[in-house]
Amino acid sequence: MIRDTFLRRATWFLLFVLHSASVFSTEAAEVELVVEMPSTPESIDLTRYSLGQGGLSDSPMFEQHVEQLTQLKPQTIRLFVQEYFNILPERHSNNWETLDKAIEVIRATKAKPILSLCFKPSILFPKVDQDTVHPKSYKEWGELVTQLVKHCNEQRRFGIEYWEIGNEPDIGEDGGCPYRFQPKDYLIYYTRTAEAIRRADPRAKIGGPALANYKSEIGDALLEHCNNGKAPLHFFSWHVYHNNPSYLRQSIKDVNEKIARYPKLKNVETILDEWNMSLEKPILNPSFQPAFILETTSGFYEEGLSRSAYYHIRDYFVDPDLFSFMSSKGRLFMAHWWNVMPQYDGLYDQQGQVRPAYYAFKLLSLIRGDKMLIKGTTPDVKGFAASQSKWNQVVIWNFPQKARGETAMVTMRFPTFQKGRFRSMQLNSTRSVNNLEILRQGDVKELESEPLRFELAPYDIRWIEVTQ
């Protein structure tokens, strides 16, 4: 009896140990990545996936960060042309000073502005009402828009190519802008505004609608309207805030499918010109956002998105008095959201401190030149690689496709490179300074006998530079 009891207990204990080992095992999955040049040359440049700012202040909101932003090499920076710039203080009298300052800061980063037209002069829109969307006089509105384009590209030579008509016209003040359109009204407004832009610059790229919900009927109506030749459409734009990169990727697929239904719009560009993690349920793990940026940008590239604008460069407090063009409810919403609620979206916070997200864009800026192949990637572990001059850059990350991710043990091989130097670095999002850490460096020949090998936990990012 005693012997049987002992055997039963020993068996239970052994089963418990085996079960625990399977549940709590920390053994990492083995992943071998091989970086090499493709047989057919192909160029890559991820700097078209750029940045945006605006809708919050008439001040240049990131003026003190121009040098740092220049290092990101953004091709474009999107800016709201909002009513607080006061470009029509009196009838037939323009004020360009404050808007010019904001555009000049963008140009100082060497980026080209994408201007989103969402201003509503009180002279032409005397009633403060988001559902009042047509000016008292479209003739005067057209003259104002034409003068704006001429001022920017003839007098100031800002070199603005992209003009976006509206911002989140499907939700109005909830999107921080004074217009809330029905589809038929937006088509009228879009057409008349596009005509005014083209009078000043026949080469301008015109588009919209910068939808808050990319499935909005406004977008469908605009595509059909422009396919019928009633207005030009050079780019279609929309916004997504979501924690799952696959959702953003799906939005590109859906938009591309819509555009494909219209044969006359086959050359229309796609621009996701506001995107970030969820505004209502942001992920506060400091390592999440940089990996989210890399994973989402990978989807942009693979789906052929033309351009993007990460919203935004800097979190910023608002002055409610500047928003007199909005209802009292709209002003209160803006003030509470930006001045009271914690913000997590900017590359810089409201005090101007850099966030780890900045360094994700820094790494993306290195992926320019000749594209290199990375063989052996998995759904979670993937990367970008590019060769430019004598510098070869590889960026690897682990973004789990399931809620509970796994650590990978990564071995990297570089058969293309027989000589030179290498540096292996990580983006450490938990540090307050020196987020980019050098972990190992040496001669490339070392890697033949001692390959580059490291653990890559969920949301970890590694950067390897090989200099020939």
What is the pTM (predicted TM-score) of this model? 0.93
Alpha-carbon distance of 384 to 395, in angstroms, equals 5
User: Residue 17: what pLDDT?
Assistant: 40
Task: Name all contacts of 40-45 with Cβ < 8 Å and 24+ positions apart.
Answer: 41/370, 42/370, 42/371, 43/369, 43/370, 43/371, 44/301, 44/367, 44/368, 44/369, 44/370, 44/371, 44/384, 44/386, 45/367, 45/368, 45/369
Q: Nearest CA to 205 among 237, 164, 266, 263?
A: 164
**Residue 387 in contact with residue 372, Cβ under 8 Å?**
yes
**Residue 309 in contact with residue 274, Cβ under 8 Å?**
yes
- Kind of pairing, strands 307-311 and 269-276? parallel
User: Residue 15: what pLDDT?
Assistant: 44
Contacts with 437 (C-beta within 8 Å, 6 or more apart), sequence order: 425, 426, 428, 431
**pLDDT per residue rounded down to tens, the chain (468 residues):** 444 544 454 444 444 444 443 333 457 899 999 999 998 999 999 999 999 998 999 999 999 999 999 999 999 999 999 999 999 999 989 999 999 999 999 999 999 999 999 999 999 999 999 999 999 999 999 999 999 999 999 888 899 999 999 999 999 999 999 999 999 999 999 999 999 999 999 999 999 999 999 999 999 999 999 999 999 999 999 999 999 999 999 999 999 999 999 999 999 999 999 999 999 999 999 999 999 999 999 999 999 999 999 999 999 999 999 999 999 999 999 999 999 999 999 999 999 999 999 999 999 999 999 999 999 999 999 999 999 999 999 999 999 998 788 999 999 999 989 899 999 999 999 998 889 999 999 999 999 999 999 999 999 999 999 998
The alpha carbon of 404 is separated from its chain's Cα centroid by a whole number of angstroms, namely 25
Alpha-carbon distance of 343 to 282, in angstroms, equals 9
Contacts with 387 (C-beta within 8 Å, 6 or more apart), sequence order: 37, 369, 370, 372, 393
Alpha-carbon distance of 78 to 100, in angstroms, equals 14
Burial of 216 (0-12, 13-18, 19+ CB in 10 A): buried
In 255-350, the DSSP E strands lie at: 269-276, 307-311
Domains of the chain in start order, with CATH, are: 25-43+369-467 (2.60.40.1180), 45-365 (3.20.20.80)
Q: What are the two backbone dihedrals, phi and then psi, of residue 240, each rounded to the nearest 5 degrees?
A: -145, 130
Alpha-carbon distance of 132 to 109, in angstroms, equals 37
User: Residue 43: what pLDDT?
Assistant: 97
**Both structure tokens of 466:** 């090989």
How many beta carbons lie within 10 A of that of residue 274, not counting itself? Answer: 27
> DSSP state, 88?
-
Alpha-carbon distance of 381 to 408, in angstroms, equals 8
The per-residue DSSP string of 276-293 comes to ES-SSS----TTHHHHHH
- For residue 165, CA distances in Å to 81, 138, 227, 232 come to 10, 15, 17, 12
User: Residue 243: what pLDDT?
Assistant: 97
User: Residue 437: what pLDDT?
Assistant: 96
Burial 232-255 (b: 16+ CB within 10 A, else e): bbbbbbbbbbbbebeebbbbbeeb
Alpha-carbon distance of 398 to 410, in angstroms, equals 10
Q: Nearest CA to 117 among 63, 79, 147?
A: 79
User: Residue 366: what pLDDT?
Assistant: 98
Alpha-carbon distance of 405 to 456, in angstroms, equals 11
